[in-house]
Structure 1
Amino acid sequence: MNTTPHDTTLTSADGRSALRMERRLPHPPRKVWAALTDPAALGRWFPSEVTVDLTPGGAMSFRFPGAAPGDPGMTGTVTDVEEPRLFAFTWGTDHLSWTVTPDGEGSLLTLVHTFGDRPGAASFASGWHLCVGALARLLDGDPTALGRDDGGLHESYITRLGLDRGTVEPVGPDGSQGWRVRFERQLVRPAESVWAVLSAGIEPVAGLPVPEGFTTATAPAGPVTEVRAPRSRTYAGEPHSSVTWELGEGTGHGARLVLTQTGPAGWDPDAALAAWRTRIEQLAAALVDA
């Protein structure tokens, strides 16, 4: 499978994010347009079966493979239709805009996916990467079965889109009451698998030192203060800091990690930020190989 990312950018403003992906196709715009808008063609490369009233304000429905009988699936509304240039619609709370422009003897296909869950952007990017690859095969007359990502494609987009970076937040005015380091990252395996990698067979127990997998050099093993395997675990770090690992629901591709470490005013949050970034990269790599 080709894991080279397409031309892709991610921007965020006012609580919404926009993922922009481009793909050059050696086919004329009208041929690409037909593959974008004909439900029979859509069903061969889009992640769900689609019905569509191809008029502005028209209704859409999305039914995913394996859905139970009677499951209504998701719905959307066509927002823009300008044949053969622009097709845009809502999909639940998200918005998708597909633009086709001439590019020599072929076309430039541009997708802008707008959504609220910025940490989920790598899941969306890797999913669209596979879908657009299937669309390209459809246009070429080749088999269109969607490929599967073992996690490597997802992780390449984590890096490309800058989703591997944490934040440092002050506690109190200007950090007068301390600092908080925070990472939120979509992972490629379920919580149980993540927990197994972190614990390495040594289950955290309240009052005992936390297993090494949960620590860094700036947050060595202190006593566990709370544990709810395989979802959450808090321990006392040094100097006088608290570390919490939380594994929640994400995009459906795996667990969503939220990691925080809070320390006092004299603590060095930048060193902690760098140490946790390295530790989470190690975890992510181990999960791809798991």
Structure 2
Amino acid sequence: MSTTPHDATLTTDDGRTALRMEHRLPYPPERVWRALTDPASLGRWFPSEVTLDLAPGGAMEFRFPGAAPGTPVMTGTVTDADEPRHFAFTWGTDHLSWTVTPDGEGSLLTLVHTFGDRPGAASFASGWQLCVGALDRLLSGAPPVAVRDGGALHEAYIARFGLDRGAAGAAGAGREVRFERQLVRPAETVWAVLSDGIEPVAGLPVPEGFTAVCAPAGPVTEVRAPHGLTYAVGEDSSVTWELRRGTGHGARLVLTQTGPAGWDTGAALAAWRDRIERLAAALLES
């Protein structure tokens, strides 16, 4: 599997993020259109089984293979169906727009996926790249075997979109550095890598894996294994690690360090970015 990202861009407007991806396929638009809109074909490369009424305003349902009995069915609505050029629909709160343009003897397939969870963009982009790879195999006559990303493609999109950067700002009467990053392993695995066999205990120094050069080990003030902890850094600063639910690719890391009003946050941003990069690299090996 290639770990090279496809052509992709992110734009954000009024809290919503649009992921735009282009894929060149050596098949005429009519064949690509059928694979996009025929439920039998769509279910072989799309992330879920789909039923649809192919007309603007038509209802859609999405069923994930292997879902537990009683799992609610996701629904959507067709917003555009202009054969063989444009197919768009809602999927829960997201919107997907597929445009097929003639490209020599083949087609240029453009996807615009609009959603609210910007830190999840690398998961969406890597997932769509693998799905379109399955679509390509289906159109070629080969079995559209599902390929999973071990994490390297996801991390390549993290770098491409700049999702490895933190932000600094005011927090009450002080300052805060904050990182939110989708990881590629579940919380239990992330916790094991961070603790490295030394379980955090309230009142004792935090294990080194949870520290950075800007925030040396201080006493743990709260432990919520394997979903987070807080430790003190001197008298006027603290660090909190949280491992929340993410996109389904793995845990969502939210890391914050607080400090006093006059705190110069530049060094902390650089130090925590380096620490999280090293964590992400270690998770690829786990």
1:178 Cα deviation from its structure 2 partner: 2.6
- Say if 2:14 is the partner of 1:11: no
Cα deviation, 1:199-254, whole Å, max 9, x if unaligned, reads 10111111111100000111000111111111120011147311000111111111
In structure 2, the partner of 1:106 is 106
AA partner of residue 114 (structure 1) = T
1:70 Cα deviation from its structure 2 partner: 4.9
In structure 1, the partner of 2:182 is 186
The 8 Å contact of residues 199 and 213 in structure 1, kept in 2 or not, is answered as yes
CA RMSD of aligned residues (A): 1.2
The whole-number CA distance in structure 1 between the counterparts of 2:110 and 2:146 is 20
The whole-number CA distance in structure 2 between the counterparts of 1:280 and 1:68 is 34
| Length-normalised TM-score, structure 1 | 0.96
1:256 Cα deviation from its structure 2 partner: 0.7
Q: 1:57 is paired with a residue of what secondary structure?
A: coil
In structure 1, the partner of 2:116 is 116
The whole-number CA distance in structure 2 between the counterparts of 1:34 and 1:28 is 10
In structure 1, the partner of 2:251 is 255
1:171 Cα deviation from its structure 2 partner: 3.2
1:170 Cα deviation from its structure 2 partner: 1.9
- Say if 2:83 is the partner of 1:87: no
| Length-normalised TM-score, structure 2 | 0.97
2:241 to 234, 245, 249: 245
1:116 Cα deviation from its structure 2 partner: 0.7
Over the matched positions of the two proteins, sequence identity in percent amounts to 79
In structure 2, the partner of 1:30 is 30
Q: 2:45 is paired with a residue of what secondary structure?
A: coil
The whole-number CA distance in structure 2 between the counterparts of 1:237 and 1:275 is 15
In structure 2, the partner of 1:279 is 275
Runs of 4+ in 1 over 3 A off after TM superposition: 68-72
AA partner of residue 63 (structure 1) = R
Q: Superposed, which structure 2 residues align to 1:103-182 within 5 Å?
A: 103-171=103-171, 177-182=173-178
The whole-number CA distance in structure 2 between the counterparts of 1:8 and 1:140 is 24
1:2 Cα deviation from its structure 2 partner: 0.9
Q: Superposed, which structure 2 residues align to 1:49-64 within 5 Å?
A: 49-64=49-64
- Say if 2:183 is the partner of 1:196: no
In structure 1, the partner of 2:74 is 74
Cα deviation, 1:60-79, whole Å, max 9, x if unaligned, reads 11111102345442111100
The whole-number CA distance in structure 2 between the counterparts of 1:95 and 1:238 is 47
AA partner of residue 42 (structure 1) = L
AA partner of residue 268 (structure 2) = A
Q: What residue ranges of structure 1 are gaps of 5+ in the alignment?
A: none
Q: What residue ranges of structure 2 are gaps of 5+ in the alignment?
A: none
The 8 Å contact of residues 220 and 238 in structure 1, kept in 2 or not, is answered as no
In structure 2, the partner of 1:269 is 265
1:27 Cα deviation from its structure 2 partner: 1.0
